[in-house]
Amino acid sequence: MITEFLAQRLSAKLEKLADDDPKRVELQTQFLPAAWLDDAARRVGQIQAVTHSLKPIHPDAKGSSLYREPATLPPLDELGSHALGSQFDADVVGNAAALDVYKFLKLEHQGQSLLSLAAAADADLAAALSDDAAQAQAWMQAFAGLSEARGRLSSHSLAKQLYWPVGTDPHDDASYHLLAPLYPTSLVHRVYQTLQDDRFSDEAKAAREARKARVWHERPVREYPQLAIQQLGGTKPQNISQLNSERRGNNVLLASLPPVWQSADVKPVLGTDSLFKVFGRRSEVRRLTGQLGRFLQSEPARNADARRQRENWVEALLEELMLFTAEQQTLAPGWTADARCRLPATQCAWLDPDGVEAPPSDLIDELAGDFANWLNHQLRDPLPMGDAEYLSWRKQARELFKSMEREGAL
């Protein structure tokens, strides 16, 4: 198993080199079992297995992360990491360049990972690592330290902290504990896996098709409305943690909102040929377009700060559009079938998704274009709005809509 793991990694690196590249010999030497294992035992100190991580709280925080077996945590009525029991994914933080060591230690033999075997000082693993018993024990001891905290436990100025009352006198400083919350990365990953399965697995899709056809299906359909996605790590999610990298930086936030009340002010968009004629009359929309127009009229410098400020106003308008859309979707499905509805098919599908038979395939592109046209029209007097501005607004709207579509919000 060890030999096969190293052979696969070596093969992947050799494929990128020409047959006469002198680096081939160097790589082949590096991936000899004794050489690679010795290097891995040295590099394992650069990473740490954790269940509760500090990096997602703030990427520059330097305090401690912790590894705690969920089954050893106190049971609570509330959902927490303790609910994972013995089935959980440990995360890894530290130097992303050393993550291959963790992948090695995740290899399983007869249902046990090499990490757990190393922690148990397994004799068979020692024999597989080296004929030199002392060398094998040294390597296993180094590997077993993967789940141990590095140095003294500490917090950091960039970490979150809060005072939690434990006494009865709020004026007594001794009546508080200072808590430093950590990100429950193993629990977050289980939630992400569950939501992905409920939303995108073949079984979940079959269950939704059965519901649509009004036939029985053994799997229940689970919906997660108004999800939000917290992106961690930017273009380098591996700098946060291994599990964050596996999720491509996506961390799902469940809706924590009061009930949405259907107000008498929410009326269907009837008697007009564009939803933007109604949307544009909203007070917040008028305020935002006015601010954006005045900003552009000021002839701002052509730099990153000005571009970011302009994009922020457009993003705020798009957020208002999503709020307007959500309000329309609180109406009874099928309202777009009213004879007074003169909206184009794409806008009907956008505002009344459950009331149309099938949304147009180009729904997102059409709506992004409609938004860009509308915004150009709003700013055209006295600004010279043209194709360049249209393409910029359209691109920003399309990226938002596509992102929401990928997360199942559309």
Q: What is the mean pLDDT of residues 339-352?
A: 95
Q: What is the mean pLDDT of residues 2-23?
A: 84
Q: What is the mean pLDDT of residues 315-326?
A: 94
ω into residue 382 within 30 of 0, thus cis? yes
Give the model's pLDDT for residue 317: 96
Give the model's pLDDT for residue 4: 87
Give the model's pLDDT for residue 190: 94
Asked if pLDDT for residue 407 goes beyond 80, the answer is: no
Asked if pLDDT for residue 255 goes beyond 80, the answer is: yes
CB 210 within 8 A of CB 217: yes
- Mean pLDDT, the chain, whole residue set: 89
- How many CB atoms are located within 10 Å of the residue 178 CB? 9
Q: What is the pLDDT of residues 71-102, one digit of tens each?
A: 899 988 888 999 998 888 888 888 878 888 88
SS in 3 state form for 141-203?
HHHHHHHCCCCCCCCCCCCCCEEEECCCCCCCHHHEEEECCCECHHHHHHHHHHHHHHHHCHH
Structure tokens given for 393:
């607004």
16-25, 50-59, 185-194, 394-403: least confident range: 16-25
Asked if pLDDT for residue 149 goes beyond 80, the answer is: no
Asked if pLDDT for residue 362 goes beyond 80, the answer is: yes
Asked if pLDDT for residue 209 goes beyond 70, the answer is: yes
Give the model's pLDDT for residue 410: 66
Give the model's pLDDT for residue 409: 60
Look-up of token digits 């004794």: 34
CA R_g for the chain: 28
Asked if pLDDT for residue 184 goes beyond 90, the answer is: yes
Asked if pLDDT for residue 352 goes beyond 70, the answer is: yes
Structure tokens given for 222:
């689970």
